[in-house]
């Protein structure tokens, strides 16, 4: 079942700062996740109740899910190293 996507302003700003090639790969991964959540490398973040991540090269996309609304929200797009510090 396809889900709706919502990208926060913060995530959009972060995507705008990423090199075009990487940003395109991230957008493709996000769209693939919305179409089929089981087809991506998704993992629940330990220590965070509702946050998940997908890996796209050296980038991490931090997400939340609202299953009742069928909505995936992209919260952050960050390099691997600082991704897990907040």
Domains of the chain in sequence order: 4-81 (3.30.2310.20)
Whole-model pTM: value is 0.84
Express as a percent the part of the chain with pLDDT over 70.
93
Strand ranges in 1-86 using DSSP code E only, listed in sequence order: 4-7, 42-44, 51-56, 59-66, 71-79
- Tell me the sheet residues that pair with 73: 6, 64
49-81 confidence digits (pLDDT tens): 889 999 999 999 999 999 888 899 999 999 987
């Amino acid at each position: 079942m396809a889900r709706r996507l919502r990208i926060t302003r913060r995530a959009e700003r972060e995507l705008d700062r990423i090199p075009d090639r990487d940003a395109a790969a991230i957008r493709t991964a996000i769209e693939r996740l919305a179409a089929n959540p089981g087809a991506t490398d998704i993992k629940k973040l330990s220590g965070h109740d509702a946050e998940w991540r997908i890996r796209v090269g050296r980038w991490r996309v931090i997400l939340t899910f609202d299953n009742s609304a069928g909505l995936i929200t992209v919260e952050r797009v960050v390099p691997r190293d600082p991704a897990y510090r907040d």
